Amino acid sequence: MLKFFRKNETASRWILIVGMTFLMVSWLVFDKSSSFLTELLIGRATWATTIDGVTVTEGDQARLQQEIRVIGMLGDPTVRALGLEKDPIHWYLLTLEAERAGLVGGAADGQSRIAAMAAANKVPEINLISALCREGGQTPTEVFETIAKLNGVLRYVNLVTSGPARLSAPRLEQSAAALLAAVSGELVVLDGVKSKVEVETPTEAALQEQLNAYGAVPAGEGKFGFGYRISDRVKMEWLMIPVASITTLVEQSPALSNIELRKYWMEHQLEFPVTALSNTAEAASFDGSRDAVKAKVLTATLAEKSKEISKFMSDRMQLSMRGMPQVNGYYTLPTDWVAKQFPLAQLAAEVAQKFAIPVPTMSTSGENWTSPKDVAAISGLGTATTTRFGAQPVNAGQLVEALREFGAKTTLISQVGVTSPVLQDAAGDLFVFRVTEVEASHAPTSVDIVRDALIADVNRLHRYEKLVGMTSEIQREAFDQGLGAVATTYGTSVEQYRDLRQGEKQFLQYGMKIPGQLPILGSDAAIVKAVVERAMSLPTGGTQISDMPVSERTLVLSAPEKLAMVVVRIDSITQMTRGDIPALVMNQRFRSVVASDQATGSPQDLFTVEALIARNGFTLANPVKAKDGKGSDDANDADDADGADGADGKKDAPVAPVKAGQ
């Protein structure tokens, strides 16, 4: 064959021209007729319909399958987040809404994206197009149109979820006024702890139920702050060598004799410049600099002696561990180690004898357990640090948290029964500690272990429930007799609040909505919002709020997250100045805050297949047959889950997202 082509170059050239022409014509013909072939081969039977009367054929379904294979290859994060590459129904309905919003362009739009992708990934554009065609079984034009649909979907999702761009100026001004209005008055907090409300003593069954519900939850981290999990805790012993003992030792040493001090002064005169004294000759002499020389030598000698004592203690403890096997830096201790370990009291005695100082002070945590965080509160030891593990100082609490018995993942080596490195606090005191017992975090095994906490929390819940049932009674007393009477009845106090706002301007301009703090109650955005909205709704008509009837400006609100009732009286409101509004309205971060406030759900909620099916009234023509098809289960499940029929026999659909231009 090759010989034939070599001998007949003219024939070879014509064969090549005709062949290439045939391929190009075939490509173009197939490109134009693919939709027709799909309809011819698969059929025009109805696959599904929408509430607007749109009919989707079996051929359309086949093309949708091709399209989702193409978009699945692109790895777009929005496609993955919504799961569009998994369900043709999901993809169809979202492209339908994007087309209705006028956001889907033509094939040129898709081709532009492919060109940009090819350039970004440094691959030939034709290679990328070929790969997409093979994956989806589509022609190049159909691939371009599929990508154009994807571009439209992305624009649509971005438009719907970028709330700030759609907010009107009046809406923004109204929100700014509401967020920055400052309300002042008085309030009474009736909580489940201090309020004088009689409740029955909790039964053992109630306490056990409470423990079962929150026993494994760390203290303060459960609902209403419930939680009874016992944290990691230890028992410790330690010795301390006061810096005063070392200082006394150094002051009595030959290093601070006049001869040594004078020698140091002569060798380091530049370190002691002449001061502005009346007698310059005296200032330039040793006698004039003696105190400064002594202070400097004392500091240096004290540091050296402290280092010497620290080394002695470290060496002595290392000697006591000699021959003990180690694995990854941890010692393998025998079962009778408590009896064999080197006593810290003996170490203290040896230090005293070696350096002729008073016996170091010995201390223990006693019978009480101590959490790693509480170690920081131990006087002296809590602030002492070591650089044994690197340049960054490590304190005693960190070493306790790093205990192997707590399963800590750290580079610090620490274990029960092994003496710590020598630590030193800011004053210069030296410490050595050892953890003698350890108990890892666990849920209480019985009510008795945390009985007091259980009783307090169950009573707090019951008092709050009783207060909620007494809302009308509390309200009548507040209206008729005032907040002072309510406070007296329930054994609490009247508190003043001033300039309570839903948000502070200095935070709003950075996109943070931080409401004001309430006395006793602390932060509660719902309570603050209710108070401000009531204050802004009062029809003053030129009348001072404080002159209005108490019943119109008094609220009784529940704060369920705090297990408290709040009785609030509004005395005044200060509106924001008009000059502050324009700058805030133009701030994009503030617009995001307002958009978040008015949002009814997350973007994913708007674009789930269930929401799209309900919104568009999508109905499969043959649900039974569709159960065998990809994505059909989701569609049918959504049909079943969308609730009861309305009065007209149709299912109620969620409100459609805002369309372009609205």
Q: How many CB atoms lie within 10 A of CB 269?
A: 14
> pLDDT digit string (tens) for 401-456?
999 988 877 788 899 999 999 999 999 999 999 999 999 999 999 999 999 999 99
For residues 89-112, give the mean pLDDT: 89
Q: Out of 462-466, 515-519, 636-640, which region has the weakest mean confidence (pLDDT)?
A: 636-640
**Last residue within a domain, chosen from 413, 439, 465:** 439
The predicted structure's pLDDT at residue 12:
59
Q: What is the domain range of residue 73? A: 43-161+600-662
Asked if residue 524 and residue 644 are part of one domain, the reply reads no
Q: Which two tokens stand for residue 381?
A: 């030891």
Asked if residue 188 and residue 278 are part of one domain, the reply reads no
The predicted structure's pLDDT at residue 18:
57
> pLDDT digit string (tens) for 258-271?
777 777 777 776 67
pLDDT > 60? residue 631: no
Asked if residue 470 and residue 423 are part of one domain, the reply reads no
Asked if residue 480 and residue 332 are part of one domain, the reply reads no
Asked if residue 431 and residue 344 are part of one domain, the reply reads yes
pLDDT > 60? residue 466: yes
Asked if residue 423 and residue 459 are part of one domain, the reply reads no
**Last residue within a domain, chosen from 395, 416, 439:** 439
The pTM for the full model equals 0.55
Asked if residue 396 and residue 277 are part of one domain, the reply reads yes
Q: Which two tokens stand for residue 582?
A: 């324009």
For residues 552-564, give the mean pLDDT: 92
**Last residue within a domain, chosen from 439, 474, 508:** 439
Average confidence score pLDDT of the chain: 81
**What is the 3-state composition of the chain as percent helix, strand, coil, each rounded to the nearest 5?**
55, 15, 30
Residues pairing with 437 in the sheet: 235
- CA 641 to the chain's CA centroid: 33
pLDDT > 50? residue 539: yes
In a domain, residue 26? The reply is no
Asked if residue 55 and residue 106 are part of one domain, the reply reads yes
The predicted structure's pLDDT at residue 277:
47
Count of domains in the chain? 3
Give the sign of the dihedral formed by CA 242, CA 248, CA 254, CA 259: positive
The Cα 209–Cα 87 span in angstroms is: 45
Asked if residue 357 and residue 302 are part of one domain, the reply reads yes
Please name which of 83, 82, 142 lies closest in space to residue 114, comparing C-alpha atoms.
142
In a domain, residue 624? The reply is yes
pLDDT > 50? residue 120: yes
Please tell me which residue, 251 or 342, carries the higher pLDDT value. 342
| Strand, helix or coil for residue 35 | helix
The Cα 470–Cα 452 span in angstroms is: 27
The predicted structure's pLDDT at residue 647:
35
The predicted structure's pLDDT at residue 350:
95
In a domain, residue 31? The reply is no
Asked if residue 250 and residue 345 are part of one domain, the reply reads yes
The predicted structure's pLDDT at residue 604:
62
Pairing of strands 233-241, 182-191: unpaired
Asked if residue 245 and residue 190 are part of one domain, the reply reads no
Asked if residue 620 and residue 540 are part of one domain, the reply reads no
Please tell me which residue, 444 or 276, carries the higher pLDDT value. 444
> pLDDT digit string (tens) for 306-361?
999 999 999 999 999 998 998 988 999 999 998 899 999 999 999 999 999 999 99
The Cα 389–Cα 651 span in angstroms is: 67
In a domain, residue 216? The reply is no
